[in-house]
A and B are shown apart, each in its own frame.
Chain A
Amino acid sequence: MGKVKSFFKSGRFVSLVWIIGIVLAWEIAAFFIADVFHDRMMNSKLPYLHSIIGTIVGNFALLSMACATTLSRAIIGFAAGALVGFALAIFMSLFRPIEKISYPYLLLSQMVPILGLAPVVISIVHKVQIGSVTIAASDITRVIIAAYITFFPVATNMLSGLKSVDADKLSLMFTYAARKPTVYAKLMLPFSVPYLFSGLKIAAPLAVTASILVDSLGAAGGIGYNMTYSLYTGTYSIFWASVLCSAAMGILGYYAMVLFEQLFMPWKRGSSKKGGR
Chain B
Amino acid sequence: MASKTFSAAMGVILPVLFGVAIVVLWEHQAFHRLLNVKVLQLPLPSRILSVLLENTGKIIPDAVITLRTAVLGLLIGSSIGFLVAIIATFFPRWGYGGLTVLSAFNAIPVVALSPIMNVWFSSPSVAKTAVVSIVCMVAMSVNAFRGLNDLKPFSLDLMKSYASGMGPVFLKLRLPNSVPYIFTGIRINVASAMIGAIVSEYFSSASNGLGFGIRNKLSTGQFPLGWAYIIGASAIGILLYMIVVTFEGLATKHRSN
Contacts and interface: CB of A to CB of B under 8 A. Distances in A.
A28 interface: no
B195 interface: yes
A117 to B, nearest CB: 7
SS class of chain A's interface: helix, strand, loop or mixed? helix
A128 B17 CA distance: 30
Nearest to A206: B109
A164 B19 CA distance: 28
B35 A250 contact: no
Contacts of A120: 214, 218, 226-227, 230
Interface stretch (B57-65, B111-119, B161-169): B111-119
A46 to B, nearest CB: 8
Contact of A45 (B17, B119, B202, B203): B119
B238 interface: yes
B100 A101 contact: no
Contact of A246 (B109, B199, B211, B230): B109
A68 interface: no
B179 interface: no
A63 interface: no
Nearest to A227: B115
B36 to A, nearest CB: 6
B96 A14 contact: yes
B41 A126 contact: yes
Contacts of B195: 113-116
A122 interface: yes
A100 B11 contact: yes
Interface string B217-232: 0110001001100100
Interface residues of A, number: 59
Nearest to A252: B107
Contact of A119 (B15, B93, B219): B219
Contact of A208 (B96, B109, B198): B109
A103 B14 CA distance: 11
A228 B112 CA distance: 10
Contact of B101 (A18, A231, A242, A249): A18
Given A14-B96, A117-B230, A217-B215, A128 B36 contact: yes
B57 to A, nearest CB: 21
Contacts of B112: 212, 227, 242-243, 246-247
Given A213-B199, A216-B111, A14 B194 contact: no
Contacts of A247: 107-109, 112
B97 A128 contact: no
Contacts of A228: 115, 203
A116 B18 contact: no
B237 interface: yes
B109 A101 contact: no
B97 A18 contact: yes
A253 interface: yes
A108 B15 CA distance: 11
A252 to B, nearest CB: 8
Contacts of A208: 107, 109
B219 to A, nearest CB: 7
A61 interface: no
Interface in A101-129: 101-105, 108, 110-117, 119-120, 122-124, 126-129
A18 B198 contact: no
Contacts of B226: 119-120, 123
Given A213-B111, A217-B202, A254-B104, A243 B42 contact: no
Contacts of A209: 109-111
11 contacts: A18-B98, A97-B14, A111-B190, A112-B233, A115-B198, A119-B226, A120-B218, A212-B111, A213-B199, A236-B119, A247-B107
Given A123-B41, A126-B41, A246-B112, 13 more contacts: A14-B96, A18-B98, A19-B101, A101-B15, A111-B234, A111-B240, A113-B234, A115-B110, A122-B218, A123-B223, A127-B41, A213-B111, A247-B112
